[in-house]
Amino acid sequence: MKRSVAVAAALLCLTSCGKTVTSSEPDRDITAAAPISVSAADSYEESKEDRESSSSEGSSEGYPSSFSLDINEPDAPQITNVSLEVYGPTGVSSIENVFGRDVLSSGTVGLVGCPISVELEGKNATLTFTVDPDALGDIPFTNLIVLKSGGGKSFDSIQFKPEKDNTISCLIDESDTYMLVDAYQWWSCWGGDVSGMEHETGFTVGEDFDFRITLPEGVAPSGVSDYWHDEYNGQHKMMSKQLMHQNQSEDADLRAELYAWRYPNEEDGCDDPSPLMSFDDKVNEISSLTSDYFTIEAAETWELDEERKGFAVVFHFPGEPDRGIDEQTNINAYYEYSEDTYILYTLSFFGHDRDKIEECIKSAKSFSYINI
């Protein structure tokens, strides 16, 4: 069994005891089908023709009822319009943006744009999402799939086809909540095979902190804590909030974590709090660390923006083979946020591969704040 150096957690703030947000609903079944293949796309066309033909025979008008919803959601700008065509005799059908109100769907892993609630009277309908390609960032359009929430009990992918003009259409036959997701993030979170998918080069976290970072290939982000908790940072306590963890096994080749760290104030009621330290002093403190367990191989400071700096440092733990402690490399990046808060990004792997170190440093230096 591989063992990491225990002192790393205490000296470098690499661990967190915080809880991540999970659904409180019991027996929640998470299932999904694979993204559509070429044969499935052909099947979509055949199904659509059959539906239009059969519903026209039963419809006095012989044409679909159409609904359209323009969407302007600043916190989820990727979808700009959703339309619904219902074939055959219908009652009252509707489409509604439920972003932020349907909590379960709004928190779906890899969500792209807003979840859409569809009330459908009639069994033959086509739902079409219009996507703003500029708002996708680095998520490939080909990674998008359609999910339905199953009333909050199961998430299933449904048959769909990318159309021209940045639209995605799917055939639906029941009322439910439908959404677009990035298949790479979705399948990575639930342990699916993503080897054949394009890997998006960025990841954005909202909440209290709004930033963008390019993750190394194979790192699957998941989980955000919704509260601050206190824990030891060296000899004193600080407040920590988890922004991202990697939802992979302990044997993953590369592990990544993102935290916000804040110096406690009186309202936190934190015993033995860490004294407030400027970011420059923090950098100097880390750069001067010495230990029999590790060496600092490289350190670099750069400008994030006009007011903030970034700092990255490479720690090499040679390990102790006789005691079963493997060689390990840690890359820690610190990003200045405010007078009392900074963000910590950690990457670690067993061994000392130079190419992997360069990849991690490149990822660390890709960090940037958004709208601040």
Phi/psi-derived region of residue 371, left when phi > 0, alpha when psi is between -120 and 50, beta in every other case: left
Of the chain, the percentage scoring pLDDT greater than 70 comes to 67
Section 219-225 average pLDDT: 62
Q: Of the ranges 4-18, 89-103, 133-147, 347-361, which is most confident?
A: 347-361
In whole angstroms, what is the distance from residue 186 CA to residue 192 CA? 8
| Predicted pLDDT of residue 327 | 94
- CA distance linking residue 124 with residue 89, whole number of Å: 10
For the entire predicted model, the pTM comes to 0.52
Tell me the pLDDT tens digit for each residue of 227-239: 676 665 555 678 7
Nearest CA to 219 out of 198, 243, 199 is that of: 199
| Amino acid symbol at 104 | L
Give pLDDT, residue 16.
28
Tokens of 63: 């044409």
Q: In the prediction, which pLDDT does 5 show?
A: 34
Q: Which residues of 207-221 are buried (b: 16+ CB within 10 A; e: fewer)?
A: eebebebbbbeebbb
Rounded to whole angstroms, how far apart are CA atoms 5 and 293? Answer: 8
Highest mean pLDDT among 10-19, 56-65, 340-349: 340-349
- Note the pLDDT of residue 34: 30
Average pLDDT value for the chain = 74
Name the pLDDT band for 14 (thresholds 50, 70, 90). very low
What pLDDT, on the 0 to 100 scale, is given for residue 130?
Answer: 95
Q: Which residue has the higher pLDDT, 67 or 81?
A: 81
Domain regions of the chain by residue span: 7-20+196-369, 31-189
How does residue 199 score in pLDDT terms, banded at 50, 70 and 90? low
pLDDT tens track for 315-338: 999 998 888 889 999 999 999 999
Burial of 100 (0-12, 13-18, 19+ CB in 10 A): middle
Distance CA 294, CA 197 (A): 37
Give yes or no for residue 15 having a pLDDT over 70: no
**pLDDT, position 216:** 81
Using an 8 Å Cβ cutoff, are 317 and 327 in contact?
yes
Give per-residue pLDDT as tens, 247-300.
554 455 788 888 888 888 777 777 777 888 899 999 999 999 999 999 999 999
- Residue 243: predicted pLDDT: 78
CATH class of the region 7-20+196-369: alpha beta
Provide the token pair at 358. Answer: 């360069």
Residue 187 to residues 192, 195, 196, Cα–Cα distance (Å)? 5, 10, 11
Model confidence at 50, pLDDT cuts 50, 70, 90, reads: very low
Alpha carbon distance 347, 329 (integer Å): 8
108-159 pLDDT tens trace: 888 999 999 998 876 678 899 999 988 887 788 888 889 998 876 667 777 6
Report d(CA 236, CA 166) in Å as an integer.
Answer: 52
Q: Position 252: which residue type? A: A
* Whole-number pLDDT of residue 21: 25
Which band of pLDDT confidence, cut at 50, 70 and 90, is reported for residue 55? very low
Question: Which residue is listed with tokens 């394009």?
Answer: 198
Residue 12 pLDDT exceeds 60:
no
Pick the more confident residue, 70 or 197.
70
Indicate the length of the chain as a whole number: 372
Q: Are 93 and 152 in contact (CB under 8 A)?
A: no
3-state secondary structure the chain: CCCCCCHHHHHHCCCCCCCCCCCCCCCCEECCCCCCCHHHHHHHHHHHHHHHHHHHHHCCCCCCEEEEEECCCCCCCCEEEEEEEEECCCCCCEEEECCCCCHHHHCCCCEEEEEEEEECCCCEEEEEEEECHHHHCCCCHHHEEEEECHHHCEEEECCEEEECCCEEEEEECCCEEEEEEEHHHHHHHCCCCCCCCCCCCCEEECCCCCEEECCCCCCCEECCCCCCEEEEECCEEEEEEEEEEECCCCCCCCEEEEEEEECCCHHHCCCCECCCCCHHHHHHHHHCCCCCCCEEEEEEEEECCCCCEEEEEEEEECCEHHHCECCEEEEEEEEEEECCEEEEEEEEEECCCHHHHHHHHHHHCCCEECCC
Task: Return the pLDDT at 301.
Answer: 95
